């Protein structure tokens, strides 16, 4: 399938102009849109590749650069070093200090841009995110009316502690979720204990939400990223298949 890619600029939170990477399926009819929310590593080679995979599967994908203002708070992906190594402490500090509310404004702006594109169907837009982006995808489904579906890959549903950057627990907003949710986790993910997932299931089920939670017994955090050490090919392939089926059937 033919696709088109380009770097774009659009209005994010408070009207700030931010960047993004657009990958478009060149179908004749408007196709479903995907706002693709990156991991802590930023809009790197991996996320750009995932955007192209979505386009090749028949979607219009936009990956906003949530670090547009201040830059990546760690080693930046470059052509010569597309997957730089981050220290664990740098990852922790970057995630903890990242402002959720601003990010949600940027993500909403990305959805607005997709809705305005002739290639995308503005009534069929999903939020798909990984790690930090997975949490933001879930929060977007709970706070924005622009999304018809959410796919969350191993995002925290409960933060270790709250702060000005993280003022509310994601799960506290679950009652506001107004679209179908598909969520993936690895049972060996040390940062997301099974107790948190049990609470997520109970909360969503008690509120009669449309959701599915998939846990892979041998998978660790970040299992979908084929450029990182925790990549699990079998789990990643199954999650990708489930994601495409979900987006095609539920959007």
Q: What is the pLDDT of residues 52-109, one digit of tens each?
A: 999 999 999 999 999 999 999 888 888 788 888 888 888 888 888 999 999 999 999 9
How many structural domains are present in the chain? Answer: 1
pLDDT of residue 231: 97
Q: What DSSP string runs through 43-83?
A: S-HHHHHHHHHHHHTT-EEEEE-TTTTT--SSPPP-SS-SS
As a whole number of angstroms, the distance between CA 107 and CA 103 comes to 6
- Just list the catalytic residues: 131, 189, 221
As a whole number of angstroms, the distance between CA 209 and CA 108 comes to 22
pLDDT digit string, tens, across residues 151-194: 999 999 999 999 999 999 999 999 999 999 999 999 999 999 99
Range of the domain at 61: 3-250
As a whole number of angstroms, the distance between CA 231 and CA 59 comes to 24
Mean pLDDT of 198-220: 97
What predicted TM-score, i.e. pTM, was given to this entire model? Answer: 0.96
pLDDT digit string, tens, across residues 119-156: 999 999 999 999 999 999 999 999 999 999 999 999 99
What sign does the CA torsion over 44, 27, 127, 130 have? negative
As a whole number of angstroms, the distance between CA 48 and CA 77 comes to 11
For the domain that residue 168 is a member of, what is the CATH number? Answer: 3.40.50.1820
């Amino acid at each position: 399938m033919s696709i088109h890619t380009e770097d774009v600029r659009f209005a994010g939170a408070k009207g700030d102009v931010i960047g993004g990477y657009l990958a478009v399926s060149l179908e004749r009819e408007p196709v479903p849109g995907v706002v693709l929310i990156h991991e802590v590593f930023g809009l790197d080679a991996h996320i750009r590749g995932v955007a192209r995979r979505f386009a090749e599967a028949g979607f219009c994908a936009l990956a906003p650069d949530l670090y547009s203002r201040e830059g990546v708070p760690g080693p930046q992906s470059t052509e010569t070093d597309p997957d730089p190594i981050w220290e664990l402490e740098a990852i922790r500090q970057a995630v903890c200090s990242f402002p959720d509310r601003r990010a949600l404004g940027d993500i909403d702006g990305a959805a607005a841009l997709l809705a305005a594109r002739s290639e995308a169907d503005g009534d069929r837009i999903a939020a798909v995110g990984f790690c930090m982006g997975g949490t933001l995808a879930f929060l977007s489904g709970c706070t924005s009316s622009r999304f018809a579906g959410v796919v969350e890959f191993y995002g925290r549903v409960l933060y270790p502690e709250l702060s000005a950057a993280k003022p509310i627990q994601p799960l506290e907003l679950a009652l506001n979720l107004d679209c179908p949710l598909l969520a993936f986790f690895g049972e060996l993910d040390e940062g997301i204990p099974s107790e948190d997932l049990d609470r997520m299931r109970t909360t969503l089920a008690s509120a009669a939400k449309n959701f599915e939670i998939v846990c892979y017994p041998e998978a660790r955090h970040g299992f979908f990223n084929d450029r990182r050490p925790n990549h699990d090919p079998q789990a990643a392939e199954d999650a990708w298949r489930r994601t495409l089926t979900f987006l095609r059937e539920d959007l």
